[in-house]
Amino acid sequence: MPLLRVTLTPGAFDDAQKARLATALTEAACRAESVPDDPGSRMRALVLFEELAPGSFHSAGQQADALVAGVFIDWQVSTGVLDGARKARFARELQDAAVEARDGEDGRMVITSCVIHEVPEGQWAQNGAIRRLPEIATLAGFEHLTTLG
């Protein structure tokens, strides 16, 4: 059940590019979490975009809106869902998704960063209830954690 909070640098992605990026990030996160390709499971894959205000992004102490197309992600995931290989694959796919969504437009350098927040057992509340990993595995249909449900 991917929950990706995505912060974008100002003006780096238009609406069509954001749509392509949202699709690619959803697919990459669902692959990492082994969420099956069915609407019931995928409806829980959330991508929340926030774009920084113009003039609020700096690199090396300099305002850098026109220089960088940045995608910065905070990903909440239950502890035990991702291993090192799944995280590494997502990191590669995140960079590819950002570059492909931009499609070389305007020459900005594309940079990505993702902090994976593994939520400890018993610390995820959803729709009025605490969700534990066995229940989440069943709800999301995690293919690699079917023995938990």
The CATH code belonging to domain 3-145 is 3.30.429.10
Average pLDDT value for residue range 109-127? 90
Instruction: Say what the pTM is.
Output: 0.85
Structure-block tokens of residue 146: 């079917």
**Coil, strand or helix at 140:** helix
| Least confident interval from 12-21, 69-78, 114-123 | 114-123
Q: For residue range 72-90, list pLDDT tens digits in order.
A: 999 999 888 899 999 999 9
- When pLDDT is cut at 50, 70 and 90, the band that residue 105 belongs to is confident
Type and span of the H or E element at 88: helix 84-102
From residue 142, give the alpha-carbon distance in Å to each of 119, 125, 128: 16, 18, 22
